[in-house]
A and B are shown apart, each in its own frame.
Chain A
Amino acid sequence: MDEKILVVDDDPDILEAVTMILESKGYMTVKAQNGLEALEKIKTEKPSLIILDLLMPKMDGFSVIKTVQEPKWAGAQNIPVLILTSVREDASRRRYELETGKDLDVDDYLEKPFSPDVLLKRVSKLLSKIKK
């Protein structure tokens, strides 16, 4: 397994826990602590999957999703996004809809706290989807 996964979360402990779980299964990980860093890493590291927190300082997850959908990010648009946040899914969707007028287009949504097994299952499901 040589998939590189970008993990974005402002909480260093969560970041540590998630990467630890992913690395235990042999995934490569890249960390980012806010949206700006995440965009930088998307450009330089070209990850196969993004695990994205929503509420973060500097630039939040909503803005990352919005930015990546712009035409100049064409290469990044196909990278699957798994939201990992403590915000309720319907609340996030409503907020995104209100702010942009568009549906929140993400591939999966997991609410914190998360069980490691569930996270791994979702990750491998998303990665196998792109292979097809």
Chain B
Amino acid sequence: MKMENEKTISQEFTPEEVALLTRLKIFINLRWTVIAGTIIATFVGPQVFHIIFPTLPVYIICAIIAAYNVVLFFQIRNLTKVGNKSLVETARGIGNIHFFLDLMSLAGILHFTGGIENPFIFYFVAHVVSASVVVHYRVAFFLSTTAIIIVVALVGLEYFGVIPHENLQGFASPNLYQEPVYIFAVLIVLITLIYGFTYMLTAVSGELRKRQRQVLKLQEWLLEQKNYELGRASREIYQLGEERKRFLFFLGVAAHDLKAPLTAIQSYLWVMLDGYAGKLTEKQHGMLERCSFRIRELLNLISNLLDIPRIETGQLVHEMKEISLLEIVNKSIEGLRNLAEEKKLRIIPELPDKLPNVNGAESRLAQVINNLLDNAIRYTPQGSITVRAKQNDKYIEVQIEDTGIGIPQQDLPKICQDFFRASNVDTKGTGLGLSIVKRIIEAHGGKIWVESPVPESKIGTRVAFMLPVAC
């Protein structure tokens, strides 16, 4: 508001202080105008209107006003410079002193320019108005009363001949200052005006000051509230981050400690199975093979279980870089070709020579394709597995289609749920494979869907996923 106009007043001041200082500055300017006006009137009065009165005392009083106005000017300036805690009180004190000086000056000028005869006597109202805007309402009434006492004293002293009366020759009749009715009427008008204005202005400006303080308090309260909430939110975010760190650390240790003994068991089983610990009978070999198979299952389950929170806490983002999905698909087909050939299944790649790259975690996407291909091979007794990849606008779509046993209609919606296994399979599995695949694809901003039977061939299953092209 006013702060923008008042560049000399720094922003550290409260709105109330700013308003007070601004008003005091306005008074200084006003006072210069009054001095100029008085000098002009004193000069013009005798010259143009032939009104005769002693001009020298008036000029002297003008000089006095100018002098204390300069002092006030510097006082105000110092106030704004020094970080004054009781700025409002000090400024008001200065204002009161100068108001009193103003009253005395006006009374002095009036004394030399006809006293009660001079209509400028009503300028006392102007003084009261200016004071009432600045000061506390009690002080305002006190100052108003002071003004009235000074006027009454001036008029009374002249009336009773205690001090001489200077007649404004050529303006008012010389005996006017002895007319009780005239004097009474002028004083009544003046006194009622002074008190009336004082009441009105102190009421209005008091209300304004109160509002200002309320607004300020409200602002402070809102700011405090906001700060408090911000603080709480940032603390919560920090705590969540810490918890997540602890959780991931726990997972890392858990993964290692769970796997370590199993790994040792598996290593010994393989040492025995490969004949490094002496020759085995066929029965022993078969049993050890079963052990080894179950251990592998358990190891898979552990890594799957630990994968889920890692993916869900957004850890994949750290593994992502620009990679060729086509290369991953080709590698995966190569890796699983033997498994397919053991079951006399054909893998038919329908892949383009080139495809745009994607932003992804290489080992995770390899995990996806391996898992889908492995499923296709596992649940296809005969026939073939077709692997397709193509660009589809801003996405790359990969399809893995088999001629296998398919998925029962009622199981389709649940196929990507944790631990779900379709009702038509008896092979062992963790039931986590597809649910993790889905999580990985979604963590890459892609989507996955399953169709069974394949609409075109009416048999088997088609799993397809889309990943956004890297930009």
Q: Residues of B within 8 Å of A, CB-based: how many?
A: 21
- Interface stretch (choices B118-126, B257-265, B411-419, B446-454): B257-265
Is A17 a contact partner of B319 (Cβ separation < 8 A)?
no
Neighbour of B259 across the interface among A17, A86, A115, CB < 8 A: A86
> Which A residues between 94 and 132 are near B, CB-CB below 8 angstroms?
94, 112-117
Give the distance to chain B from A117, nearest Cβ to Cβ, in Å: 6
| Residue in A13, A87, A89, A117 whose CB lies within 8 Å of B267 | A13
Interface-centre pick from B264, B295, B318 (highest chain A CB count, 10 A) = B264
Q: Which residues, 359 to 384 on B, are CB-close (under 8 Å) to A?
A: 362-363
A86/B260 in contact, CB under 8 A: yes
Within 8 Å of chain B (Cβ to Cβ): is A11?
yes
B335 vs chain A, min Cβ distance (A): 14
Given A20-B276, A24-B276, A94-B318: A113 touches B256 (CB 8 Å cut-off)? no
With A86-B256, A94-B318, A113-B262 already in contact, the answer to whether A13 and B268 are too (CB < 8 A) is yes
| Residue B399, interface by CB 8 Å | no
Task: Tell yes or no: A70 within 8 A of B by CB.
Answer: no
Whether B64 is near chain A, meaning CB under 8 Å from some CB there, is no
A88 at the interface (CB under 8 A from B): yes
Q: A90-B363, A113-B266 are in contact. Are A11 and B271 (CB under 8 A)?
A: no
Q: For the side of the interface on A, what is the size category?
A: 20 to 34
User: In this complex, what residue of A is CB-closest to B264?
Assistant: A13
The reply to whether the CB of B312 lies closer than 8 angstroms to some CB of chain A is: no
Of B260, B267, B362, which contacts A17 at CB under 8 A?
Answer: B267
Chain B stretch 275-294: residues in CB contact (< 8 A) with chain A: 276-277
User: Is B199 in contact with chain A by the CB < 8 A criterion?
Assistant: no
Give residues 1-33 of B contacting A (CB, 8 Å): none
Please state if A90 and B263 are interface contacts (CB–CB under 8 Å): no
A115 touches B270 (CB 8 A): yes
Q: Which residues of B contact A20 (CB under 8 A)?
A: 271, 276-277
Q: Can you name 16 A-B pairs with beta carbons within 8 Å?
A: A11-B263, A13-B268, A17-B264, A17-B267, A20-B271, A24-B276, A88-B363, A89-B363, A90-B319, A90-B363, A112-B259, A113-B262, A113-B270, A113-B299, A114-B270, A117-B274
**Interface, chain A (partner B; CB < 8 A):** 11, 13-14, 17-18, 20-21, 24, 55, 86-90, 94, 112-117
